[in-house]
Chains A and B, each alone.
Chain A
Amino acid sequence: MTATEPDLAALMTAVRDRQDRAAFAALFRHFAPRIKGFLIKSGTEAALAEECAQDVMATLWHKAHLYDPARAGVATWVFTIARNRRIDLARRDRRPEPEDLLWMQDGTEPDQAELFEAAEENRRLAQALADLPEKQRALVQRAFWGERSHSELAAETGLPLGTIKSRLRLALDRLRTRMS
């Protein structure tokens, strides 16, 4: 069974406001296999990927007070933590992060309409991604698995990296059209 974004947002809010461990367990069951999959596709060995999925979820718990459903979906937030874990694992480049905006921490709760709209937008994005032709979707996915995967694709297909990048741009244009 796949949890939908409103469910995930409610679970995350319960973790943030009440340190609800049952809600955290539900989030873990949803995301741990996804984080593991993401890290494996980025080139991480399976056992390490599973261990790192635990790190990512523990970070999610410890940063729960920063969660703002109007700003980013839970999947987006999990992605940024998993991405940063992958960067740490590679031990090559550190990641400078932008300043936080002060209004993000003013403690006011977004209203229901805003939350609904944010969740709806994430749902449409997921649908638009699912509706892409297979090859284009694969290019978008690979872009997020890391640089290694694009050079691998270049090696597998014999296509120059520039061609792969321009095809990726086409895929993104298509997503943009669907979202506007």
Chain B
Amino acid sequence: MAHYPITHHLTDDLLMSYAAGTLPEAFALVAASHVSLCDECRARLGAYEALGGAVLDTEAEAMTDDALERGLAACLSRLDRPAPVQRPAMRQGPLPGPLADWIGGGLETVRWRPLGMGVRQAILPTSRRATARLLHIPAGVAVPDHGHRGTELTLVLQGAFRDETARFGPGDVEVAGQELDHQPVAEPGVDCICLAATDAPLRFNALLPRLLQPLFRI
């Protein structure tokens, strides 16, 4: 099988917002998952966090010596308490660590719902500012033609898809805005599994999917 490097990355805007901690959960999940797979974006994220460090270092709020020493004493008295244990996020098959953590297991724990044409989806629990779902698209099958009202991020976990703009393989993330009207088609061979997040409902161009939209929450 041909090996493709990751060629579609997170935008600066998304990486900086993830570094600043302002992304809705669904987008942060895509960002954390992509960074887990992509050394280049990990390095760019590190640079934005360094900028956050530089910002923090310029912003001292005046504290009296007395307040500072009281705070220090209170803090020192806590240091011997046991620290909360954090399990590192572990990859599970095609699922990057943060995603496997989020759904509480591997692909076998996912509860899929049929969307028609053999396409299946599973909506993930996230805060309401944006929605996240896993998509399973059988090899060779097309997802209904759709446009976007907001931003849609699609991270490929397994297989690959093509649309009017490019080919997206494992680790690639497509950042689609309002201007993109596309029809993704899964490549033949392996079924395509993606993590998709959007901050607005999709617009489908055919009548039927639009009627179904409220029902499936896509």
Give the size range of B's interface with the partner.
35 or more
The CA-CA distance from A123 to B56 in the complex, in Å, is 14
Give chain A residues whose Cβ lies under 8 Å from the Cβ of B56: 34-35, 38, 75, 78-79, 82, 144
In the complex where A75-B56, A84-B21 touch, is A98 in contact with B32 (Cβ < 8 A)? yes
B118 sits at the interface (CB 8 A): no
Q: Report yes or no: B72 in contact with A99, Cβ–Cβ below 8 A.
A: no
Chain A proximity of B61: nearest CB distance (Å) = 3
Contact A96 B16 (CB under 8 A): no
Interface presence of A134 (CB below 8 A): no
Instruction: Determine chain B's interface SS by DSSP, over half rule.
Output: helix
B68: chain A residues within 8 A (beta carbon):
28-29, 32-33
Assuming the contacts A33-B63, A129-B55, A144-B55, asked whether A99 and B21 have C-beta atoms less than 8 A apart, the reply is no
Residues of B within 8 A of A63 (CB): 83
Query: In the assembled complex, how far is the CB of residue A6 from the closest CB belonging to chain B, in whole angstroms?
Result: 14
Nearest A-chain residue to B84, judged by Cβ: A62
A53-B58 Cα distance, complex, nearest whole Å: 16
Take A94-B25, A141-B55 as given contacts and tell me if A28 and B50 are in contact as well, using a CB distance cutoff of 8 Å.
no
Partner of B21, one of A32, A57, A87: A87
User: Which partner residue on chain B sits nearest A168 by CB separation?
Assistant: B16
A97 engages B72 (CB within 8 Å): no
**Residues 53 to 106 of chain A near chain B (Cβ within 8 Å):** 53-54, 57-59, 61-63, 71-80, 82-84, 86-87, 92-101
Q: Are B83 and A54 in contact (CB under 8 A)?
A: no
Contact residues in A for B96 (Cβ distance below 8 Å): 98-99
Query: Contact partner of B98 among A37, A57, A96, CB < 8 A?
Result: A96
Interface flag for A147 (CB, 8 Å):
yes
Query: Interface readout for A13-26 with B: 1 if CB under 8 Å, 0 if not?
Result: 00000000100110
Instruction: Determine the distance from Cα of A32 to Cα of B79 in the docked complex, in whole angstroms.
Output: 16
**CB closest residue in chain B, given A5:** B57
- Give the residue of B54, B61, B78, B102 whose beta carbon is less than 8 angstroms from that of A33: B61
Q: How far is the CA of A27 from the CA of B83 in the complex (A)?
A: 19
Which residue of A has the minimal Cβ distance to B38?
Answer: A98
Give min CB distance, A16 to chain B, whole Å.
14
Please tell me which one of the listed residues B20, B28, B91 contacts residue A146 in the complex, with CB atoms under 8 A apart: B20
Can you give 13 A-B contacts (C-beta < 8 A)? A28-B71, A28-B72, A32-B68, A38-B59, A40-B61, A50-B71, A58-B79, A72-B50, A76-B46, A98-B35, A99-B36, A144-B20, A169-B13
**Given known contacts A34-B60, A72-B50, what 11 new A-B pairs fall within 8 Å (CB)?**
A33-B61, A33-B68, A58-B75, A80-B49, A87-B21, A92-B127, A96-B29, A98-B96, A98-B97, A122-B50, A169-B13
Shortest beta-carbon contacts, A-B, top 8: A76-B53, A37-B61, A62-B83, A75-B53, A99-B97, A96-B98, A147-B22, A96-B32
